[in-house]
């Protein structure tokens, strides 16, 4: 009789155990290793949670995700042994490396740092979304390919409320993107409060109107005052919010070009003295900061002083792109500077400008990032280069042993159209960069040696917003391309697979829907 009972139990067990190969574990970005195990974990209202004291804020996020997904509020336990979900510190794991283990009666998420545990939580969240409260047993060991995984957002061309900036960060965190590059100043608007120079936001935060059409060769404007800015309190709130979600915020203060809004506020820092206006149209403007005027440098140092108190990041981005030299050629002070400093031309003058800013940032313990134009006229000694005009700048910088972040326009610009046929697409800057194209981008150039490739610290997607008036539009342009970006930034090339990615993306849609993201839904039929 006992024998019969045992046979029954074994048969019962067997029939309840799902066939492992049929169980989907769809995670984006694809983890380093996924090993399916036998069994099921049942998430119920009596499932409880323990978090090591280091991971209390992460545990709050996990609670939130579980509540959103299956409607259960996990009670917390003081002791690990009594809880079915445990967030555990494991000092043997590297930065950002995590292990998620789902067993019959126990889920553990291990990491050594808060970020690692948070990435484990994001993985578990995707599993719960896909399987609801019946989770397949699995061991996921994971760690990122690149240390720098970035997304940029231009708030100069259009301004978005803080609530959206936070949602943007939530979207980054979901995809294990660990850096938010906040492009805060532009020709069309200065968006960060600087206490010492209030006009930057009072004047520079607003433009008289936005271009709405053309009449022959002249442009038409809507005449609606447009703009806004973030207070220092709001900036601090964003920085903190992002950090809690594993995301570091790097500010960008553009110089010497893209400075019309600043010059409209303080015309004494331009070559001609003004008056200048906050730009209403888009493009590149001839008026830039005067490189011959000492006061310009002091002004920018003051601005950076305040910026550095708000952003604890190791890096500060100083722009450096698209700076016409027309005004400097005409400006006696700039020409005097060229002579005095024994510079060859205006390109070297720009290099002088950028190097001065780098010296200042370095003296405060910060490192400088600039767009790849900072290579022209000589690279500042410790600069990190963002390669946007293709990959050539990045390759040259890596060869010169400078850190590089790859962000080439052809592959990771999310202001480009995402479909070939644009008849039904909202107006964009131009270009065509499909999800597939993003997915197939390989950030390590094969022309670099193994040694040189080490200087490529990561990859970033850029969101320029000339034609993105609303948060909805930003979401439409960035999702799902950000999913492809996350996989090139996180997953080893040998583990990438376009077909598999498309399949897994369908599961991630559930999270997009839950987060009310206005992603480009129609793309799912034409991913290619």
Question: Is 110 a known active-site residue?
Answer: no
Question: Should residue 415 be labelled a site residue for ligand TNX when binding is judged by CB under 6 A?
Answer: yes
β-strand partners of 50: 86
Residue number of the CB closest to ligand TNX reads: 464
> Residue 135 belongs to what H/E stretch?
strand 134-142
Residues 6 or more apart whose Cβ sits within 8 Å of residue 206: 189, 225, 226, 227, 228, 278
β-pairing, 189-190 vs 185-186, is antiparallel
Question: Should residue 254 be labelled a site residue for ligand TNX when binding is judged by CB under 6 A?
Answer: no
Question: Smallest distance, Å, CB 193 to ligand TNX?
Answer: 22
Active-site residue, selected from the candidate residues 54, 68, 234, 322: 322
User: Which is nearest to 408 in space by CA: 375, 433, 384, 436?
Assistant: 433
| Closer by beta carbon to ligand TNX, 206 or else 464 | 464
Question: Smallest distance, Å, CB 238 to ligand TNX?
Answer: 21
Question: Should residue 160 be labelled a site residue for ligand TNX when binding is judged by CB under 6 A?
Answer: no
Question: Should residue 321 be labelled a site residue for ligand TNX when binding is judged by CB under 6 A?
Answer: yes
Question: Should residue 211 be labelled a site residue for ligand TNX when binding is judged by CB under 6 A?
Answer: no
What CA–CA distance (Å, rounded) separates 254 from 506? 38
Question: Should residue 429 be labelled a site residue for ligand TNX when binding is judged by CB under 6 A?
Answer: yes
β-pairing, 218-221 vs 211-215, is antiparallel
What CA–CA distance (Å, rounded) separates 192 from 204? 10
Residue 289 is given by DSSP the state B
Question: Should residue 289 be labelled a site residue for ligand TNX when binding is judged by CB under 6 A?
Answer: no
Q: Mask of contacts with ligand TNX, 355-374, x by CB under 6 A? A: ----------------x---
Token readout for 453 is: 């490739």
Question: Smallest distance, Å, CB 506 to ligand TNX?
Answer: 30
Instruction: Using CB under 6 A, pick the residue from 68, 286, 306, 322 that binds ligand TNX.
Output: 322
What CA–CA distance (Å, rounded) separates 377 from 464? 26
Radius of gyration of the chain (CA): 26
What is the footprint of ligand TNX within residues 55-94 (CB under 6 A)?
Answer: none
Question: Should residue 464 be labelled a site residue for ligand TNX when binding is judged by CB under 6 A?
Answer: yes
What CA–CA distance (Å, rounded) separates 282 from 373? 19
| Closer by beta carbon to ligand TNX, 429 or else 457 | 429
Chain-centre distance for alpha carbon 266 = 31
Instruction: Using CB under 6 A, pick the residue from 146, 160, 226, 388 that binds ligand TNX.
Output: 388
Question: Smallest distance, Å, CB 429 to ligand TNX?
Answer: 5
Total of chain residues touching ligand TNX, rule CB under 6 A:
9
Q: Is 117:17 a contact under the CB 8 Å cutoff?
A: no
Question: Smallest distance, Å, CB 393 to ligand TNX?
Answer: 11
What CA–CA distance (Å, rounded) separates 292 from 81? 67
Q: Is 212:183 a contact under the CB 8 Å cutoff?
A: no
Question: Smallest distance, Å, CB 370 to ligand TNX?
Answer: 10
Question: Should residue 476 be labelled a site residue for ligand TNX when binding is judged by CB under 6 A?
Answer: no
Q: Which residue numbers are catalytic?
A: 322
Site residues (vs ligand TNX, CB under 6 A): 321-322, 371, 388, 413, 415, 429, 464, 466
């Amino acid at each position: 009789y006992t024998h019969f009972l045992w046979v029954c139990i074994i048969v019962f067990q067997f029939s309840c155990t799902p066939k492992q190969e049929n169980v989907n574990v769809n995670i984006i970005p694809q983890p380093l290793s996924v090993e399916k195990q036998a069994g099921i974990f049942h998430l119920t209202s009596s499932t409880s949670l323990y978090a090591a004291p280091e991971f209390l804020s992460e545990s709050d996020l996990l609670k939130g995700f579980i509540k959103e997904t299956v409607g259960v509020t996990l009670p917390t336990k003081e002791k690990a042994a009594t809880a079915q979900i445990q967030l555990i510190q494991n000092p043997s794991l590297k930065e950002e490396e995590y292990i998620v283990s789902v067993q019959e009666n126990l889920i553990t998420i291990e990491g050594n740092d808060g970020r690692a545990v948070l990435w484990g939580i994001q993985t578990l969240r995707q599993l719960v979304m896909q399987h609801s409260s019946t989770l397949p047993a699995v061991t996921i060991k994971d760690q990122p390919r690149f240390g720098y995984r970035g997304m940029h957002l231009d708030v100069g061309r259009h301004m978005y409320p803080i609530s959206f900036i936070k949602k943007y960060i939530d979207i980054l965190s979901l995809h294990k993107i660990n850096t938010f590059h906040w492009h805060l100043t532009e020709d069309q608007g200065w968006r960060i409060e600087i206490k010492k120079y209030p006009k930057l936001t009072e004047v520079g935060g607003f433009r008289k109107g936005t271009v709405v059409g053309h009449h022959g060769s002249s442009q038409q404007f809507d005449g609606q005052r447009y703009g806004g800015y973030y207070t220092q309190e709001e900036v601090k709130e964003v920085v903190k919010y992002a950090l809690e979600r594993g995301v570091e915020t790097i500010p960008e203060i553009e110089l010497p070009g893209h400075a019309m809004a600043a010059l409209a506020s303080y015309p004494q820092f331009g070559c001609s003295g003004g008056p200048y206006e906050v730009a209403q149209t888009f493009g590149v403007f001839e008026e830039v900061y005067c490189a011959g005027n000492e006061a310009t440098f002091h002004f920018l140092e003051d601005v950076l002083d305040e910026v550095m108190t708000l952003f604890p990041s190791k890096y500060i981005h100083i722009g450096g792109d698209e700076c016409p030299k027309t005004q400097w050629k005409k400006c006696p002070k700039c020409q005097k500077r060229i002579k005095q400093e024994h510079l060859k031309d205006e390109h070297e003058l720009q290099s002088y400008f950028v190097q001065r800013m780098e010296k200042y940032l370095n003296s405060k313990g910060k490192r400088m990032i600039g767009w790849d134009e900072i290579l022209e006229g000589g690279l500042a000694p410790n600069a990190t280069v963002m390669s946007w005009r293709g990959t050539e700048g990045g390759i040259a910088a890596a060869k010169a042993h400078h850190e590089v972040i790859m962000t080439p326009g052809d592959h990771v610009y999310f202001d480009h159209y995402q479909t070939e046929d644009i008849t039904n697409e909202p107006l964009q800057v131009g270009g065509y960069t499909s999800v597939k194209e993003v997915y197939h981008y390989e950030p390590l150039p094969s022309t670099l040696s193994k040694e040189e490739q080490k200087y490529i610290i990561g990859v970033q997607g850029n969101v320029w917003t000339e034609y993105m008036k609303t948060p909805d539009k930003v979401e439409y342009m960035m999702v799902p391309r950000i999913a492809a970006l996350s996989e090139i930034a996180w997953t080893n090339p040998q583990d990438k697979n376009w077909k598999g990615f498309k399949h897994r993306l369908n599961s991630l849609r559930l999270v997009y829907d839950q987060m009310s993201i206005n992603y480009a839904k129609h793309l799912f039929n034409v991913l290619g």
